[in-house]
Amino acid sequence: MRLYIFVLTPIVSMKRIWELLREPLAGRAFTVKERQMLGIHGLLPPSILSQGEQVFVVMQNFFRYESDLDRYIYIMGLLERNEKLFYRVVTENLELMMPIIYTPTVGLACQKYGLIFRKPRSFSISRGLFITINDMDHVYDILCNWPEHDIKAIVVTDGERILGLGDLGSYGMGIPVGKLSLYTACAGVKPNQCLPIVLDVGTNNETLLKDPLYIGLRQKRVSGEVYDAFLDEFMRAAVKRYGQNTLIQFEDFGNHNAFRLLEKYRGLYCTFNDDIQGTAAVTAAGIIASVKITGTPLSQNTFVFQGAGEAAIGIASLLVLAMIEEGTSTEQAVSRIWMVDSRGLIVKDRPKGGITSHKARFAQPHVPVDTLEEVVHLVKPTAIIGVAAVPGAFTEQILTDMGKFNDRPVIFALSNPTSKAECTAEQAYTLTKGKCVFASGSPFKPVTMNGQKLTPGQGNNAYIFPGVALAVILCGVRHIPEEIFLKAAESLAGQVTKENLANGLVYPPLNDIREVSTKIAIDLAKFVYQAGLASTYPEPQDKEEFVRSQLYNTDYESFLPDLYDWPPPGIQCTYEDGNVVCRKVSRI
């Protein structure tokens, strides 16, 4: 006599089936067979859509929304419902989607996060993890509550300086979520390996403290030793939970913490600060490419910065490295850089209060000069770079002067979002009589002058951090030295075509960003193995093949073992207490 015993290994239960329908994964793309096997036949409309047709439906809906914020809410809802479809939609329409899921709309979304945030229905990156100062001593336990185990990259903010919008506390969650969605959309990093985190230490934003919708801790920011201990605990907990190689990207911290934390952690963890290093690399790339238009060698340029914070210091330091690579001495390179902060030109022996140490390196031996206009007039720079979130800082006078001083002035208005840009693309082109090489941090539409279409470049760190992250994750880089960002900048600059340059563009088109990021990752993979920075072994011989083979694929996977053979051999399904329970059947 044959004897069967049932080993209790439930595979699909009724609960899971309802989950499948509520979180429809493929949704209407489920085939008839799949619907029958999953017990959801009849619960979806009869017409079956291919993923491509679903993209069409999504885009029809997307265009029905008139405001960008509504488009953001719609498209982020899709990320929660159907991750693969979201990434297919975004990657196929990057130029259209980036201003929604990223700057500028993400800035608006953060300001309205109290309205937008709903209870998570699934644990996609669209929600992120909130860890507060009250969780001190339990940070590891909170990390364990995130259901994905194979995390390779974290983007973390404490919300103190969200874009150029200031302290948004926990409302800043939109930024790590947005940045990580670009890890996948721009560089093919697998979304289940990404974790957005807000470290909520309070907020000093009085409006938020009184906002009934505010989602964060209603208290003033904690600072000093307690803040530092909290950050230390977070860093230790992250690598304890996910491994020493976990990439931790710092985003939108206040100046006073950003530099300090980078210096403190860069030798101990796999970490970088995007606002210092990512922005530096993308700007350096734009400047390196602009040299091919202006014809002035890098070290013969004179740079005036509006701002002396994270971005300015990061950009200036990387430009110095690049000039040294060109053969200039450090002193000569540094002397090419002039910085203006809220108190005027940064000069040695600045009266009253002096200057912080990271600014000191770029202090000029000059008498004080009060305004940016005066500095531009005095220095006659070849390039001006705005990174202080002071809209209108590039005045009519400054832009006109730049046009007078240079055949091809370089004007980078990099503050984000668009409302914080130092000038508009139109102002830059008009006041320099169409001569300038212009880039902004957030997108501007093309401008037509004398029948000629002038397209502004977008000098946003989105060209850099996804590719850097991909290489770091795949190659198992343990620490991220500055050279990685210089190499990334050179790789990006090298991808600007003659045709781009002829059109005054110093960045490749945004629609190509996926290929651009992949190429950056391939170039970096070659560099990190050669420099002994990689820990993924054996070393892949063909780096390009290695990187490309690891990229996230947006095609639906069939999660049933064999659609035409269900239950599969050795599995038997029965109804028990209203549940479908499938078990392995073993024969003895």
Interacting residues with ligand OAA (CB under 6 A): 103, 163, 252, 274-275, 416, 441, 460-461
Nearer to ligand OAA, 369 or 472 (CB): 472
Annotated binding site for a divalent metal cation: 251-252, 275
The answer to whether the bond into 10 is cis (omega within 30° of 0) is no
Q: Binds 440, which of Mg ion, ligand OAA, none (CB < 5 to 8 A, cut-off by type)?
A: none
179 counts as catalytic: yes
Annotated binding site: 161, 251-252, 275, 416, 460
Q: Binds 416, which of ligand OAA, Mg ion, none (CB < 5 to 8 A, cut-off by type)?
A: ligand OAA
Nearer to ligand OAA, 160 or 200 (CB): 160
Q: Where are the beta strands (DSSP E) in 292-388?
A: 303-306, 337-341, 344-345, 383-386
State the minimum distance, in angstroms, from the CB of residue 275 to Mg ion. Answer: 4
How far apart CA 40 and CA 47 sit, in angstroms, is 14
Torsion-angle region of residue 295: left (phi > 0), alpha (psi -120 to 50) or beta? left
Nearer to Mg ion, 200 or 251 (CB): 251
Nearer to ligand OAA, 27 or 286 (CB): 286
CA angle 282, 254, 172 (to 5 degrees): 85
State the minimum distance, in angstroms, from the CB of residue 266 to Mg ion. Answer: 17
Set 84, 152, 179, 359: catalytic member: 179
How far apart CA 190 and CA 202 sit, in angstroms, is 31
Q: Counting Cβ atoms within 10 Å, is residue 39 exposed (0-12), middle (13-18) or buried (19+)?
A: middle
Nearer to Mg ion, 180 or 291 (CB): 180
The token pair that represents 173 in the structure block: 């969650």
Contact 481, 317 (CB under 8 A): no
DSSP assignment letter at 521: H
Q: Binds 103, which of Mg ion, ligand OAA, none (CB < 5 to 8 A, cut-off by type)?
A: ligand OAA
Torsion-angle region of residue 106: left (phi > 0), alpha (psi -120 to 50) or beta? alpha
Interface residues for Mg ion in 235-264 (CB under 5 A)? 251-252
> Which residue type, as a one-letter code, is found at position 42?
G
Based on the shown chain and the rule CB under 5 A, indicate whether residue 275 belongs to the binding site for Mg ion: yes
Nearer to Mg ion, 252 or 523 (CB): 252
How far apart CA 351 and CA 348 sit, in angstroms, is 9
State the minimum distance, in angstroms, from the CB of residue 414 to ligand OAA. Answer: 8
Set 72, 87, 102, 265: catalytic member: 102
Largest CA distance in the chain: 102
102 counts as catalytic: yes
Annotated binding site for (S)-malate: 161, 416, 460
**Total residues interacting with Mg ion, rule: CB under 5 A:** 3
State the minimum distance, in angstroms, from the CB of residue 129 to ligand OAA. Answer: 20
State the minimum distance, in angstroms, from the CB of residue 206 to ligand OAA. Answer: 22
State the minimum distance, in angstroms, from the CB of residue 220 to Mg ion. Answer: 23
- Pairing outcome for strands 303-306 and 383-386: parallel
How far apart CA 259 and CA 420 sit, in angstroms, is 22
Nearest CA-CA partner of 382 in 400, 360, 364, 407 = 407
Sign of dihedral through CA atoms 472, 474, 477, 481? negative
How far apart CA 77 and CA 85 sit, in angstroms, is 11
Q: Binds 111, which of ligand OAA, Mg ion, none (CB < 5 to 8 A, cut-off by type)?
A: none
Instruction: Just list the catalytic residues.
Output: 102, 179
| Residues in contact with Mg ion by the rule CB under 5 A | 251-252, 275
